[in-house]
Chain A
Amino acid sequence: MAAETINLIQDSELELHDMQGILIRGYGLLPEAKYLLLKFEDGNLARSYLQSLYMYITNGLAKPLEQAINIALSASGIKSLGIEENDFNTFLREFKEGMAEPHRQFVLGDEGEFSAEHWSWGNPSGEQVDALLMVFAHEHEYMEELLEREKKRMEKFGVKLIEALPTALLRDHKEHFGFRDDISQPIIKELAKSKGKGDFPAGEFFLGYKNLYDEHPLSPSVAEKEDPKGLLPVSYEDPSRRDLGKNGTYLVFRQMEQQVFRFWEYMRNQSTSEQEAILLASKMVGRWPDGSPLTLCPNNPNPEKSLENGFNYWNEDRYGLKCPIGAHIRRTNPRDHLVTETSAKDSEEMAAKHRMLRKGRPYGPPLDETLEPLDMMLKADDGKERGLHFICLVSDIRRQFEFVQNIWVNFHKFGGLNNDADPIIGNHFKEGELKTDEFSLPHYPVRKRFKNLPNFTRVRGGAYFFVPGMKAIKFLAKALE
């Protein structure tokens, strides 16, 4: 994905020079990455910090081969920079409330083991996260140098490093359970080489452009008088205001620990053979470990189709006999089949309105270097933490990220099911009559029901951020005075 877009940006209709690079690419050529969680000790110094950092920030035009730096700000971070209350109120409600606000936690299904009180960061009673600095490098030594430089900058401007979250890309684009990841990404119309059906307008993921409703997404703005240097463009919402969001976006960050040993142990215990265990795990994911989709390859994986993304469900597999209705990929992207809709067209239309642009990276060492399920099933629990730094970019947190999390991932009634949250990333628990820890596999004469699913993932931290455009950074740093 990243490699494709680099060659196309010359002719883009997007203002790439004003966007931070993370919006445009995943920096696949820079395998080293660290996510630094920062706290501003002083508002004035924080603005100076942004001024000092500005020239190091990678924009959307650049094609970095050695290093890249991008920054995102949380609601508290924006406030720390001294923005006026009226201007601050123009940010999305979800962003202002934050991921750990009790109602947002309810909506996201973050209770019990997932609850924010157990998070190692982003926890309301813990350190306040004001900013997220994303640092990428082409090699380890260079990353160390960059971190040293950035730490000095932080010290100088009273910025506290709360935590430096490491990342570690895994072989063959896999995630820790051993499945090929990052296959199904939405293609942005304005960045695509050729126009294709189902491409998404930039406004679905970036502020300042039209979205699928042919509207500009709600974008934060400031009073005209706040921008005497005229840095910011006119707001689409209100021409008397200036658009702070243009060429920026919202970033959702969730650190999700993956219980790999527990995952394969469960599959093994429910099966009579290793092959059956792999089949069960694949049914839960919706693809075979090599990435080939069950809808197209129901009986065996097919390496030739490991990157295949051109399939649907309505005609091919409406009853989930190949890829179960409750499978992970069928929940996070139901394509043309939603049980609640009456046609493939309507389903497709609804599903399209809830896509996200994923940018995350795994972290921690793999349970087994090969990431082969057969090898992982033989391994003992090494007690090490590993998982995924889930990062996605959306122009509407509620409509995109929270909707998917609430309605498709954690709703145990999804698609007419009874007690089934997403088998992979859902929160599985029992509470009186309420059960979310089952997985149903459509089968003749009766569906197979897998009970007592433990949590295979666990949220370890999370926050909502705003990724400002380059001009907006200048503005927030008070025009680099």
Chain B
Amino acid sequence: MRDEQREICREDREECLEALYRMETQGRTASLADLMAEPDLSQRPVADTLTDLALERKIRLENEIVSLTPQGRHTGQRVFERHELAERLLRSLGLREASAHEEACRAEHLEDEGAVRAACCRLGRLGAMLDEGVIRLCDADNGEYRVVLLSAGRFQRRRLEDMGVGPGAVVRVERRHRHGPITVEAHGARLALGRGVAAKILVAPVTQCASHPAPSA
């Protein structure tokens, strides 16, 4: 389930990774609340971005503490250095950072304690799932998977459930186009799912030794 209806964009990811990298170099550990308090992230859907990043294996979630994987650190460092350079250029042009505005955002964002706690809880659950080998359907190779969670908006969730791709359903990935849509078989019917849709379906592989009999191919 998502808080925000808006799509997570590249900037969201990059800002998030950059903030994590900066905090890491400062020797600080980062929790969700810490990240939300970061001025650069104040206007962004932090929890959902972290969900995506965790699924992309750019970050690790452990006991509400977020840390970078080597892959994520690489991106974070790159973005950080790029920003440093841009900032130096701007400063040499005589521009000053508008810090008052960011300070205001920070104060505003931390007020909703309940929402932060709920997001923490969700991320914690996600961390546990990732340890059990949960991946996004768009990253899945051909084969059988069980749907664990739909991290999609309301309409999309309902549509997927109606088409037989709800939590608990077994789907078989048949065809994948790189950076494109996939086709899956669910309840004997064949479906096409856009890449964005497949990225929001979290699945766990159905192991061969499972009691569930494999449907005839």
A and B bound?
no
